[in-house]
Chain A
Amino acid sequence: MPKKTSQHKLRQSRYSLFDQVEHQVAPRVLLVEFFNWPFMSIESRDADPLAVVVENGVVINASPQALKSGIKMGDKLRTAASAEPGLRVVSADMVDQDGLFAKIASVLERFSPLIEIVDLGICATTAKGPSRYFGGEERLALGVKEAMEDQIVKVFPGARELRSRAADPFAPGSIFSFGISIADGIFTAQIAARESLIVPPGESGSFLAPLSIKELPDYEIADTLYRLGVRSFGEFVDLDFNLVLERFGPRGALLHRMAAGLDTSSLEPSEIKEELVQKIELPDPLETASAVIFACKARVEEMLRRLLESGHLCQVMRVRLVSENGEESVRDWGARDGFSVQLLLERIRWQLEAWSTNSILAPSAGIEIVELRPQRIVSSLRVQLGLDGSERSSVAKVSQALSRVDAIVGKRSSIARIKGSRTPKGSVEMVPWQLHLFDLDEERERKSREASPWPGKMMSPSPAVCFDPEIEIVLSTIEGALVSVSANAVLLGDPCWISIRNTGRTARVLKWSSAWPMMERWWDPKDSIKVVRIQIVTDVLGALLVKSSGGKWFIEGSYD
C-alpha cells in the first residue's frame, strides 16, 4: 500500500478548511466493478464471446477476446466487423436492457442497506459501519467477494459451466472478473478496484499521484493538461488550486480536488431541501411496471425541470417504492452527467422489475407510493461549463434555438434515428426534436426491433444520399433494349446506359453488381411487391443504388 507522504500533507493544506473537514468526514466506500459488464449482460452462454459494444457506429467497448484479435476502442464498426466476421455487435442502448445489474447489485444489500449503482457494472456502498460489524475492511471485502461470486454463478450459465469444469470463472482476464475496493470517495475507489485494493483512510492523494493525467474523468481538460506538459495526477495537484480554478473554472477545480484524493462525492446524503423531494401517491395501487412509469412521467418531468431551472442537476437519486401492504424497496441511482427524464424513468423501471422478480422480497401487492429524493445535487455549471469557462451548448440551449427555427420555417426540425429495416431509406426514422419524452414502452420495443436480425438487409456501405422521391430512369443495354428482371431475379441484358426520364441526361454504366432481390411488405398480400436492387457505377453520375419495381427502374440513392 502506498505510504502517506509529507508532500501529500502540504498539498492538502492548499485547500480550504471546509474541504479538509469534508474529506475527513467523507465515508469510506466499498465499490465493486465488473470490468466486462456489457458482455456479461448479453444473452450468451459463451464465457468469452467475441463481441463489441457499439455506439453510433463506433466501438466503445470490446470483450477480452475482441481486444486480443486486434479490435480497438474507437474503431469504426465497419472496420471491426470486416476484420472479424464472427463478431457479435451489441448496441450501447441494449446493454442491460432488462436491468440485470440491479439484481446483481442487490447482493450488497446483505452488507449495507444503502447501495448506489454508480454506473452499469459499478455499484458501491458505505464501508464504515459494515466493516466494524464484519470485523474489518478486509473481512468485509472478502465477504462481498464471495457473495458476488455466488450470485454470478447463479445468474450466468457461462460462469456455472466454467465452475463445473473446475476452472475459475473470476480469474483475471475472464469475462466475469470483477474488482472490489475500499477507499475514500467513489473516484478513488473506482481506480483502486482495478487492482482490488484497500486504500487506507487519508491516503487517496498519494495513491492517485502516479496516475496518468489521461485518467481524469474529463477528456478535454485532461487533453489540455497533457499538452501543457502535466503528465500525472501528482503534477496536476502541484499546480496552484486558485490558478486551476481561474483557468478551468469550477469543473477544473473539482477535478483538482479529485486528483488530490479529496473526492467530494460520497454516498452520504447531503442536505437536500424537502421541496425537491417528489412523493407520488398513486390513486390506485398499480401492479405493472409500465403503469407505474406512466403514472410517474409528468411528475418526474416537472421535478427535473424545476431542478434545471434553478441551475442544478441531480447526480444521485434515491428511489423509494412502497407497496399497498407497506413493503419497501429503496435504491440510490447515479448519473454522472445528471439525470434526464428518460434515464430516471428507466432506472425506476429497473428497480420495479428487480424487486418484483426477487424470490424472497417481492412485494405482495401493487405499488402505491413512488418517492424520489435527490441525494446529490450539483450546480449544472459543474457539468456544463466549457473549457474556457463559457457555457457549452447544452440541450436546453439547442432546444431553444430549434424552437425558434421551427417557428421561422413552420416545420419541425428532426433527429435521425436508426431502426431495424432491410433498406437504407427504411432504416432511418426522422423524429421531431420536440419529442423529448419518449414513450418508454415504444422505445424499448423499437430497440428490440433494432437488435433483431434483418435477413436480406442491404450490406454496408449504404448510399450517402437517398432520394425521396426516387428518380425514375431507363436502364438499357448497349443495343438500346430495356434491361428487365426475370421472375427469379436475374437481369435480362447487361446494363450499359442509364437515362433520367424527362431530362435526357444519360450516363454510361461501367460496372454493376449482383442483383439483390427482396419481397417488400410480404406480410400484406395486397401491397407486397417484388423489388430487385443493383448497384451500378457510371461514368458521370458516380455509383448509384437502383431498383426495379413494377417494371420500372428508379435511382434510390447515390454513393457520393
Chain B
Amino acid sequence: MLHTVNKSPFDHNTLETCLKYAKPGSAVLLIEDGVYAVAKGTAVSKQLQDALKTVPIYALKPDVEARGMQNRVLDGVKLVDYGGFVDLVAEHNTVQSWL
C-alpha cells in the first residue's frame, strides 16, 4: 500500500505513526508540509534514513520546491511530480492518507 504524509514532523506525530505502519512492500510519499521531513541534518533525518532501509520514500517535488528544500534532500529520497504521485497510487493496492 501507499502511505501519504502531509504534516511537518516537527509539529505532528503523523510521520512517526506512518513509519510504524509502513511495511516492506509499501511506499511512503511525503506531500504538502510533510516534505519538511526530507531535509538533511534534522531531528528526524535518522528516522527517515532507517525507514529507507525497508520502504522507498518519495517526496512531491512541487511541494519540496515551494518550500525551498530542493537542495537539502536526503540521499535515497526520490522526488516525483503529480504524475509520479498518480503512478504510485496506481502501483499500490490502497492508499492510506495519514492526515
A binds B: no
Q: A-side interface residues toward B, CB under 8 Å?
A: none
Q: B-side interface residues toward A, CB under 8 Å?
A: none
